[in-house]
Chain A
Amino acid sequence: MRISTVFFRVELVRQLRNPYTLAFTLAMPVAMYLLFGAGGEHADASAGKGNVAFYVMSSMAAFGTATAMSSLCSLAASEVRQGWGRQLALTPLTTTGYATVKVLTAVCFAALSIAVVFAIGACTGASADDPWRWLAVAALILAGGLVFGLFGLGVGLAVNSDSAAALASISISFFGFFGNAFMPLSGVMLDIAHYTAMYGYVALVRWPVTEGALIAGGADPLPVVLVNAVAWTVVFALLVRFGVLRSRRRR
């Protein structure tokens, strides 16, 4: 497998000057954190092992990462299905090599999104009881974000290229809202939320702070959260499988 550093560098630069990517993966999480985290009336209240600002910061960094992973991976799939894929097919680059570069780019972008949100969080009063909780949250965000890379890839392969990116980002916003990533849900909404795609992810990401406790009261047992995360990973993997078959049939 041949991976070129030039290819990787150009891909990074491309996304850095893409206003759409910057808005959804950096500006939006930061703005939401400032509005509902640092700027919220309970910012300094405890959310378990950290304050509410830290809780919101973690949620928003997770959301930014899910957006970065899904949109960059759906773009990767769309591009390769268009003419650029044919152009790349005339080089020694393998599909694995292409996917590696694209996933690395998406992970770098996700890491950037986390770093920016965390840096602003640290400057605006987000705090946790121990420093390792910051690292644990960041690691969970990055690792879990890969699942949304699968989602983006599946959408990019299965849906025609013009609508893939839009569909991926709309879905992610939907998942974020119903996954309890934004305003804390309660009642029936919270019951439904347990089954949606981002619930397990954000709950896991916040685990080092909340240890399962919910803002609306009560707590989730860890297995419930894990089952959600694993089940949706399987669903997204199946979506990728479907997308691969569908794009093959179209050739």
Chain B
Amino acid sequence: MNIESLSTDAPSSPAPTPARSAPAVQISGLVRGFGVGDRRVRAVDGIDLVIDRGEIVALLGPNGAGKTTTLDTLLGFADPDEGEVSVLGRSPRRAVADGVLSALLQTGGLLADLTVGETVAVIASLHGADARAAGVMERTGLASIARRRVGRCSGGEQQRVKFALALLPDPDVLVLDEPTTGMDVTARRRFWEIMHEDARAGRTVVFATHYLEEAEQFAQRTVVMNRGRIVADAATAGLRSSLGGRTVSASLPVGTAERILAELRDDRSLAGPIDVSPGPDPLPGAVGALPMGLTRDGDRIHVRTERSDALAAMLLSLGAHDLEIAAPPLETAFTALTED
């Protein structure tokens, strides 16, 4: 920590020892660009992020949003142009050397001519963790292919090798960049089971992914990046419902649909104020797509609202049946946040 940050950022209470109380990840005012001079592009343009120990955080964003650059500075591969990054109260490189920070790299390469067993043994030995090698290979399902050359492994198997390498130092903070790329469904499920066991044991997991359902299922917290900035940072469940409310669907008594819809159009209190997007896509074969988040499909209506409970009560009192209330999928939130 330098003098300047002491004078401006120091908390009023006496600073406790960083190793004990520091958050897992602390990023403040991070700026990092590429290129030289006038052509320098800000890949990350001023982000602040604090991640506590034991959290599982998903980092989402379209290509070029700055996710990989953020992770690169978090791992010490790139230095910030501005701002500071610390992991468990120390510099990223220090954290790596201490064995408390590890990662599964998207662009991380393996040597094709080494066997799986040799690869794990080499990295384990560099961490001074030779004793853990066998257990980690067992856990990641590599024991049976230990003698196979890495170049002959499938994409999913190579991904598991990288996963094993990331687990070798038994890190407190684990960074995963597109971790399940190339894995089949079973391997992906197994992967996240292991991650959850580890998070319960106190390991912090930060992962970037293109699979929104992975963020939805496995991350308690989701950070959405776009154009080098953080555009949303919330509990994953909250992020889903914060945007666009919920969709209430119900089948109405025969012949009443038009009248009820007309009432809802007149009285915006229950169907509004949803005007950010035209609502859920009309179902296949839907007729009479209506504006402002109202659609009708025969006797069934779909209404997007932020007052789903009140609307549901009203519809039920009018004789509606087969009522469903659904939060929009994360994809809807994601699209709304990152579309220009």
Give the nearest-CB partner of B129 in chain A: A91
Interface residues of A in 123-160 (CB under 8 A from B): none
B111 engages A91 (CB within 8 Å): no
Is B105 part of the binding interface, using a Cβ–Cβ cutoff of 8 Å? yes
Segment at the interface with A among B9-17, B118-126, B180-188 = B118-126
Q: Mark A84-97, 1 if CB is under 8 A from B, else 0.
A: 11111111110000
Given contacts A10-B114, A91-B96, A92-B97, contact A86 B125 (CB under 8 A): no
Is B113 part of the binding interface, using a Cβ–Cβ cutoff of 8 Å? yes
User: Which among B96, B123, B124 has the greatest number of chain A C-beta atoms within 10 A?
Assistant: B123
Bound state CA distance, A87 and B128, in angstroms? Answer: 16
Q: List, in ascending order, chain B residues with CB within 8 A of A5's CB.
A: 125
Q: Which of B99, B108, B127, B130 contacts A86 (CB 8 A)?
A: B108
Give the nearest-CB partner of A6 in chain B: B125
Query: What is the CB-to-nearest-CB distance from B205 to chain A, in angstroms, rounded to a whole number?
Result: 16
Bound state CA distance, A90 and B168, in angstroms? Answer: 11
B122 engages A6 (CB within 8 Å): yes
Bound state CA distance, A70 and B114, in angstroms? Answer: 21
Please name 14 pairs of A and B residues whose Cβ atoms are closer than 8 Å in the assembled complex, sorted by A: A10-B114, A10-B122, A14-B111, A17-B113, A82-B109, A83-B105, A86-B77, A87-B105, A88-B126, A91-B123, A92-B96, A92-B97, A92-B99, A93-B126
Query: What is the CB-to-nearest-CB distance from A88 to chain B, in angstroms, rounded to a whole number?
Result: 7
Q: List, in ascending order, chain B residues with CB within 8 A of A91's CB.
A: 96, 123, 126-127, 169
Query: What is the CB-to-nearest-CB distance from B88 to chain A, in angstroms, rounded to a whole number?
Result: 15
B121 engages A6 (CB within 8 Å): yes
Q: Mark B58-102, 1 if CB is under 8 A from A, else 0.
A: 000000000000000001111000000000000000001101001
Q: List, in ascending order, chain A residues with CB within 8 A of B127's CB.
A: 91-92
Q: List, in ascending order, chain A residues with CB within 8 A of B110's CB.
A: 83-84, 87
Q: Mark A1-45, 1 if CB is under 8 A from B, else 0.
A: 010111100100110011000000000000000000000000000
Give the nearest-CB partner of A81 in chain B: B109
Is A79 part of the binding interface, using a Cβ–Cβ cutoff of 8 Å? yes
B109 engages A86 (CB within 8 Å): yes
Interface residues of A in 37-85 (CB under 8 A from B): 79, 82-85
Query: What is the CB-to-nearest-CB distance from A11 to chain B, in angstroms, rounded to a whole number?
Result: 8
Q: Mark B160-173, 1 if CB is under 8 A from A, else 0.
A: 00100110010000
Is B217 part of the binding interface, using a Cβ–Cβ cutoff of 8 Å? no
Contact-residue bracket for chain B: 20 to 34
Q: Which of B76, B77, B122, B166 contacts A7 (CB 8 A)?
A: B122
Bound state CA distance, A199 and B195, in angstroms? Answer: 59
Give the nearest-CB partner of A82 in chain B: B109
B96 engages A87 (CB within 8 Å): no
Bound state CA distance, A10 and B150, in angstroms? Answer: 14
B109 engages A2 (CB within 8 Å): no
Is B30 part of the binding interface, using a Cβ–Cβ cutoff of 8 Å? no
Contact-residue bracket for chain A: 20 to 34
Q: Which of B78, B102, B113, B124 contacts A90 (CB 8 A)?
A: B102
- 17 extra A-B contacts, CB within 8 A, seeds A2-B128, A4-B122: A2-B126, A6-B122, A7-B125, A7-B126, A10-B122, A13-B118, A14-B114, A83-B110, A84-B109, A86-B108, A87-B162, A88-B126, A90-B108, A90-B165, A91-B123, A92-B99, A92-B127
A86 engages B107 (CB within 8 Å): yes
Q: List, in ascending order, chain B residues with CB within 8 A of A85's CB.
A: 109
Q: Which of A6, A10, A89, A92 contacts B77 (CB 8 A)?
A: A89
Q: Which of A13, A83, A251 contacts B108 (CB 8 A)?
A: A83
Query: What is the CB-to-nearest-CB distance from A92 to chain B, in angstroms, rounded to a whole number?
Result: 5
Is B22 part of the binding interface, using a Cβ–Cβ cutoff of 8 Å? no
Q: List, in ascending order, chain B residues with CB within 8 A of A88's CB.
A: 126
Q: List, in ascending order, chain A residues with CB within 8 A of B165's CB.
A: 87, 90
Q: List, in ascending order, chain A residues with CB within 8 A of B125's CB.
A: 4-7
Is B103 part of the binding interface, using a Cβ–Cβ cutoff of 8 Å? yes
Query: What is the CB-to-nearest-CB distance from A111 to chain B, in angstroms, rounded to a whole number?
Result: 22
Interface residues of B in 113-149 (CB under 8 A from A): 113-114, 118, 121-128, 130
Interface residues of A in 201-217 (CB under 8 A from B): none
Q: Which 6 A-B pairs have the closest CB atoms?
A: A83-B109, A6-B125, A4-B125, A91-B126, A92-B97, A84-B109
Bound state CA distance, A92 and B102, in angstroms? Answer: 11
B123 engages A87 (CB within 8 Å): yes
Q: List, in ascending order, chain A residues with CB within 8 A of B102's CB.
A: 90
Q: List, in ascending order, chain A residues with CB within 8 A of B107's CB.
A: 83, 86
Give the nearest-CB partner of B111 in chain A: A84
Bound state CA distance, A7 and B107, in angstroms? Answer: 22
Give the nearest-CB partner of A85 in chain B: B109
Bound state CA distance, A89 and B95, in angstroms? Answer: 12
A89 engages B96 (CB within 8 Å): yes
Q: List, in ascending order, chain A residues with CB within 8 A of B109's CB.
A: 82-87
A251 engages B78 (CB within 8 Å): yes
Bound state CA distance, A5 and B125, in angstroms? Answer: 8
Interface residues of A in 89-124 (CB under 8 A from B): 89-93
Give the nearest-CB partner of A92 in chain B: B97
User: Which among B96, B111, B125, B127 has the greatest number of chain A C-beta atoms within 10 A?
Assistant: B125
Given contacts A6-B122, A7-B122, contact A90 B75 (CB under 8 A): yes
